[in-house]
Amino acid sequence: MRCMAWALVAAVVTTGNSPCPAAEPTALLELKIGTERLEGRIAAHNDDTCWLLRRDGRLASFRTDDVTDYHEIEPRFRPMSMLDLRDQLQTEFGRGFETKTTAHYVVVARRGTGERYATLFEQIYRQFHTYFTVRGFRIAEPEFPMVAVVLPDQQSFVDYCIGEGAKPQPNLVGFYLPSSNRVALYDRAAVGQSRASDVDDTVIHEATHQVAFNTGVHSRIGQSPLWLVEGLATLFEAEGIRHRATVAAIGDRINPERLDGFADYRKRRPANSLEAFVRDDTLFKKSPLDAYGQAWALTFYLAETRSVEFAKYLKTVAGRNPLEKYEPDARVKDFCDTFGRDLDFLESGMIRFYDRLRAG
C-alpha cells in the first residue's frame, strides 16, 4: 500500500514528462508552479489536478502539468502550531487587531472584542461535537487550528473578501471558504447595523460550516449538495439544537425563521419536487430564500425522523472521491440508496410532518 501511495504521488508531481522520485504521501513537499513555490502535503490528485494542503490549513489547487520542480522538505507533514499561527495572523492583520486562542480556534478581531468571539466560536464547536456524538456519529478532531476573522466594519470586510477571491454580495455579512479554511465576518453590532444577537446568528451559521468541513462531516475538496451544507448550518441556528441536543422537545429544536420560510414557499412549491431539489442546486440560484427554507426543512425532517440514515448519508457524501464531479444522477442515487426509492412517498411524509408541527 505504501509503495502504491508513493507511486501515485510520483505520477502526479512531474518534471516535464518524467515522474519525479517517489515521496512519502505524508511528506512536507515544496513544489514550484511557474514562479511560485508552495509548501504542503498532497491532499488529493488525479491525472489533471492536484490539491496541496498547506501547514496553515489552506488548500491550493493547480494543474499537474504546471509543476516544474519538486523536492521533499521533511518526511512528515506537521500542521502549524496554534502559537505560530497566532503570530502569523497578528503580523498579517497588524496592531489594530488582537488574536485570541481557544482549544480549537485562533480568532482575529478588533482590540477588546476578541475574547467574546473566541468564546462563542469554541462554544459552537463543542455544541456541534455533542450533537453528533450523542447520535452515534463519530466526528474527527480538526487537523488544523480553525481561523476566524472578525473585521471592524463593512468596507474592511469587502476588502478582505476581494483579497480572498470571494465576490462580495450586497447582503453578505459573513462567509466560510473551504479553500482558506477561514470564517470571516464583520461586527455589525459595533457599527450600529444590528443587535449583538444578529451577529451571533452569523457566527453560528458560518462556524457550523467551518466545523462541519473540519471534522469530516463535509469534504473540503469534494462537491457536496448545497441543500445539505446549508441545511446543516440552518439546523444549528436553532438554540434548541445547540443547547438541548438530547432532551429538548421537538418544538424547541425548530428554527422558526426557516419554518416560516418553508411555509411561505409551500404556497407556490410544485408538488413532487423533492427529487429536483436533491438533483441539483438550481433553486438556490433562482430563489435563495425558498431554497434555504426547504434545505432546513428537509434536513430537520431527516435528522428528527431518520437520524441513523441521515448520519449514513452524510458519510456517503463526504466519502466520495473528492475529484470526481458529483453528477445529478449520482446525487439522486446516493439519496435514494439511503432513504428509499420512492421520493414522492418521502416527500408526502415530510409535508405531513410539518402540517402536524404547525397544527401543534
> Can you give the pLDDT at residue 187?
87
Choosing among 3.60.10.10, 3.40.30.160, 1.10.3720.10, 3.40.640.10, the CATH entry for 82-214 is: 3.40.30.160
The helix/strand/coil state of 55 is: coil
How confident is residue 195, by pLDDT bands cut at 50, 70 and 90? low
* pLDDT per residue as tens digits for the range 134-157: 888 889 999 999 999 999 999 999
Span of 99-113, 232-246, 248-262, 294-308 with lowest mean pLDDT:
232-246
Residue with cell 518534471: 15
How confident is residue 190, by pLDDT bands cut at 50, 70 and 90? low
Residue with cell 508513493: 6
Alpha helices by DSSP H, the chain: 2-12, 82-93, 114-133, 154-163, 196-214, 226-235, 239-243, 250-253, 256-266, 274-279, 282-286, 288-305, 307-318, 328-339, 343-359
Q: What would the mean pLDDT of 289-300 be, rounded to a whole number?
A: 97
47/18: higher pLDDT: 47
* pLDDT per residue as tens digits for the range 311-348: 999 999 999 999 999 999 999 999 999 999 999 999 99
The domains of the chain are located at 2-74, 82-214, 226-359
Dihedral-angle region of residue 71 (phi above 0 means left; psi in -120 to 50 means alpha; beta otherwise): beta
> Can you give the pLDDT at residue 351?
97
Task: Record the cell numbers describing residue 159, joined without a space.
Answer: 476588502
Q: What would the mean pLDDT of 37-63 be, rounded to a whole number?
A: 93
The helix/strand/coil state of 21 is: coil
Reply yes or no on domain 2-74 having CATH 2.30.30.100.
yes
> Can you give the pLDDT at residue 5?
32
23/205: higher pLDDT: 205
Q: What would the mean pLDDT of 9-31 be, rounded to a whole number?
A: 55
> Can you give the pLDDT at residue 247?
52
Say what the pTM is: 0.89
User: Between the ranges 30-39, 197-206, 343-352, where is the mean pLDDT highest?
Assistant: 343-352
Residue 73 pLDDT greater than 50, yes or no: yes
> Can you give the pLDDT at residue 134?
86
How confident is residue 192, by pLDDT bands cut at 50, 70 and 90? low
Residue with cell 446543516: 232
